[in-house]
Structure 1
Amino acid sequence: MPKPAEDADKEVRGHVLIVAGSEEMPGAALLAAVAALRAGAGKLTIAAPACVAQGLALAIPESRVIGLPQARSGGLLIRGSESLGATAPQVSAVVIGPGMQGERAIVAFVCALMPMFGHATVVLDALAMSVVRRSALNQPVVLTPHAGEMAYLSGKSKEAVCADPAGTAREAAMRWGACVALKGGSTVIASPGEELWKFDGGSAGLATSGSGDTLAGLMGGLAARGLPPLAACAWGVVAHAGAGAALSRLHGPLGYLARELAVELPAQLHALSTRRSAH
């Protein structure tokens, strides 16, 4: 984990852009954005449909919020990507997808947006991952599917994915040239040419609405701080599970909220970093 000096300013910890939300699910953008800041990213910009932009700006006063034009289907219009071009040189990580609606519009928007951020790590979540069904990935990308999403993206049955998550994740990573975090009771992380990682420390309480949005934002925040895709995934998965475990001790194994996970993240990341340094 990169450790900035005591006198380092926010620029050192990176700038993360969250492209997320819709009229029906503005909270997904909020969850991802707060998690990115709790991960230690120094600066935050949110790009969301104009109809929810002001609400997000008020809910997260630490952020810059850019309102984007929206199609009738609920997806973002391609021309909206042009308004993000000016931010591209400063951004070190991008999270795209939480809470977005309208798959066709999203894929077109992502295809237009990604070349502007070829220098940054891009975390694709939810419907934004559908871009792999249309075009090749030519930059550092993280994909965060659960078994159902992986089945849709890969063309396999959900049963086949669940029967061999390690093989499925490895095959997907090679096929798409991306770091793939296949989420589940056990989470498998695969990246082309890298060792396969498996984490068995998840819990049932993490399977709650908005939890994946928080994880995507957490990974984006860690990538903004300078971690490469595989490391951002691994740290993110473990810290996310640790936050769930901490809430389980307070409230019981079920019933805590995704919005509460982010509050636990700084302590989890600090504990993990300290433990690693001690070894």
Structure 2
Amino acid sequence: MTSFPVLLPPCASRDAACVINAALLAQWPLPQPAADADKAGRGHILIVAGSPETPGAAVLAATAALRAGAGKLVIATAASVATAIGIAMPEARVIAIPETSRGGITLHAAKSLQQAIGMVDAAVIGPGMPKGVATSHLVALLREAWPVVPLVLDATAMDALPAQPDLGGPLALTPHAGEMAHLTGHAKADIEHDAASHALHYANAWSATLALKGGSTHIASPDGRLWRLDDGDVGLATSGSGDVLAGLVGGLLARGADVEQALAWATWLHGQAGKCQAQRQGPLGYLARELAAEIPRLLQVPAESHAAIPY
């Protein structure tokens, strides 16, 4: 697996939230591959995503992971849509996994993916997958087999948490308030009213770094550190946007970022990509598929002396 030095995060006080902006990220640069690195040296990522109803989620997450700088991509998806996803994503190796009648993965298929995750630097599980016991079982099996591989759990994959609140190893979660309400039993309105407290509590309870998405996104670490991103864009509240964010987090993890850094950078990149699209097309109506193309340029912005973003 790829190994990079990890920088300690700036502004890591437990007394108040650190605001995520270009100035903060300039002090927290992402790991960079060597000039002569091959594609594996840039990071190898596994995306477990998609279903017959929502195959595009796998494409959105996978595209974002590559745009974030990962060099090698494997997609594991339902067999009935694997060929179509492979055509839509020619950069990927695609694993067709047996599926249930509802398009979910089977328990047998979950075991077959244990070998695949042992060869990658990070994995994203959940975008576009249907709810079901097998998805939660997959998370547990992969964590048991490879506890050191950073995992991003998105959408239905987060259902594994209430039953197994400490999955161990580096773990990133990306719930919005509605998903957080489903996972915790709290009212959505209560979570939105005090998002920071809920993020901190459940990051500790689940031993995970958690990005609670909303108008302001709160990122909490298990040891009580908190970051906040205030400049979200309403246009990002659109189908597929969360799949893009999950892929960004996974791609940055594959590059060698730790979980806190990957979530901080990914949420900022995601928000800025929305602003770029809003400026170019209008505040509403741009598509999730259009966000990822903004990312390579935005990755350079924090290092450019905090220059204004060239929309």
Q: 1:98 to 1:69 in 2, by over 3 A?
A: same
Aligned to 2:257: 227
State the alpha-carbon separation in 2 of the partners of residues 88 and 23 from structure 1: 23
Q: How far is 1:210 from its partner? A: 0.2
Q: 1:274 to 1:194 in 2, by over 3 A?
A: farther
| Matched-pair contact (CA < 8 Å) for 1:97–1:125 | yes
Q: Which moved more, 1:153-162 or 1:220-229?
A: 153-162
What's the CA shift string for 1:37-91, capped at 9, x where partnerless? 0000010000000001011111111100000011123221111123223323321
CA RMSD, 1 decimal = 1.4
Asked if residue 41 in structure 1 is aligned to residue 70 in structure 2, the reply is yes
State the alpha-carbon separation in 2 of the partners of residues 194 and 119 from structure 1: 22
State the alpha-carbon separation in 2 of the partners of residues 226 and 275 from structure 1: 23
Q: How far is 1:270 from its partner? A: 1.7
TM-score of the two chains, using structure 1 as the length reference = 0.96
State the alpha-carbon separation in 2 of the partners of residues 272 and 7 from structure 1: 24
Uncovered stretches (5+) of structure 1, i.e. residues with no partner:
none
What's the CA shift string for 1:99-158, capped at 9, x where partnerless? 000332321222222223312110000010010011122111111100011111112111
State the alpha-carbon separation in 2 of the partners of residues 92 and 273 from structure 1: 25
State the alpha-carbon separation in 2 of the partners of residues 273 and 221 from structure 1: 19
| Matched-pair contact (CA < 8 Å) for 1:78–1:112 | no
- Equivalent position to 2:295, from 255, 265, 269: 265
Q: Which residue identity lines up with residue 94 of structure 2 in the other structure?
A: V
Aligned to 1:31: 60
Aligned to 1:114: 143
| Matched-pair contact (CA < 8 Å) for 2:111–2:138 | no
- Taking only the aligned residue pairs, the percentage that are identical comes to 51
Asked if residue 15 in structure 1 is aligned to residue 41 in structure 2, the reply is no
Q: Which residue identity lines up with residue 48 of structure 1 in the other structure?
A: T
Uncovered stretches (5+) of structure 2, i.e. residues with no partner:
1-29
State the alpha-carbon separation in 1 of the partners of residues 225 and 303 from structure 2: 21
Asked if residue 91 in structure 1 is aligned to residue 120 in structure 2, the reply is yes
Q: Which moved more, 1:79-88 or 1:92-101?
A: 79-88
Aligned to 2:205: 175
Runs of 4+ in 1 over 3 A off after TM superposition: 273-277
Asked if residue 161 in structure 1 is aligned to residue 195 in structure 2, the reply is no
- Relative to its length, the structure with more helix (as a share) is 1
Equivalent pairs counted in the alignment come to: 277
Asked if residue 69 in structure 1 is aligned to residue 62 in structure 2, the reply is no
Aligned to 1:50: 79
Q: Which moved more, 1:186-195 or 1:109-118?
A: 109-118
